[in-house]
Amino acid sequence: MLRKLRFRKKPDSISPTKPILFVHGAFGGGWDYRPIQRSLEAAGREAYRVTLTGLGERSHLMRPEIDLDTHIMDVLNMMKFEELSDVILVGHSYSGMVISGVAHRAPELIAHLVYVDSNLPEDGETMMSLWPEDERERVLRNAAEEGEGWKVIPWWTDPPRDVAQPLASWTQTVSLGNPEAEKIPGTYVKALGDEEPRESDEILRARVKARGYGYHEWKTTHNPQRSALREYVDLLLSIE
């Protein structure tokens, strides 16, 4: 359990617009968001991209103890040390878990949550809670047979910069429950391009509706930061 952190808010005079902070998905890194960061900055927006511990250029820090709380703290600390407030916080895939945890620990710093083809968890769920049993078993078998029992090895080769994901980040439950976080507006993006519909899709849509979030469906792959850059930028620029 992480204690709630208190941060000094960044003065409004420093930036006339809300900063955008990207949190990448499993196996990835902040490197994947460099093109969209540049596009947003060219449009006059302040944008940041975190790399979670053990991944990307921080893969040399990979160890069995890295879990979901570690990654939540990565984002909290970036906001603290960059003195960010009024943040549009964007989480892709696995990092729907991460930004949800961040929102319930520092809701006063977040202006809007954007979930991109991601988990939209409830209290006590894990990354794999809504997955079919055979998919959960595949991940656990992957870790046991190929990942020394504590890391998940990518089962693809593109992009080659993807690295192993700490298993504990997928098995630790998320701790939510701060009523202030429930007041943060949000947007959900569903990618329709490269996966068959799942039973969990209906659960996610019901949660989006219950929370009053905006909802968008894009005919693109699971990684719109690569395949739908223009739509992605336009969406973020539209968020007040």
The answer to the question of residue 1 being in a domain is no
Domain presence at residue 5: no
Structure confidence at residue 72 (pLDDT): 98
Question: Does residue 30 lie in a domain region?
Answer: yes
**Res 120: pLDDT:** 97
pLDDT value at position 177?
Answer: 95
- What is the length of the chain? 240
Render pLDDT for 101-113 as a digit per residue (tens, 0 to 9). 999 999 999 999 9
Domain with residue 35: its CATH number is 3.40.50.1820
For residue 199, the SS3 value is: helix
Asked whether residue 6 is domain-assigned, the answer is no
DSSP string of the chain? -PPPP--PPPPGGG-SS--EEEE--TT--GGGGHHHHHHHHHTT--EEEE--TTSGGGGGG--TT--HHHHHHHHHHHHHHTT--SEEEEEETTHHHHHHHHHHH-GGGEEEEEEES-----TT--TTTTS-HHHHHHHHHHHHHHSTTTEEPPS--SSTT---EETHHHHSPP----TTGGGS-EEEEEE-SSS---HHHHHHHHHHHHHT-EEEEESS-S-HHHH-HHHHHHHHHH--
Task: Determine the pLDDT at residue 160.
Answer: 80
Query: Is 7 a domain residue?
Result: no
* 8 lies in some domain: no
Q: Is 221 a domain residue?
A: yes
Q: Residue 98: inside a domain, yes or no?
A: yes
Q: Which residues of the chain have pLDDT under 70?
A: 1-16, 194-195
Q: According to the model, what pLDDT value does residue 8 have? A: 43
Q: How many domains does the chain have?
A: 1
State pLDDT tens for residues 29-77.
Answer: 999 999 999 999 999 999 999 999 999 999 999 999 999 999 999 999 9
Total-model pTM:
0.92
Predicted pLDDT of residue 158: 74
Structural domain including 125 reads 15-238
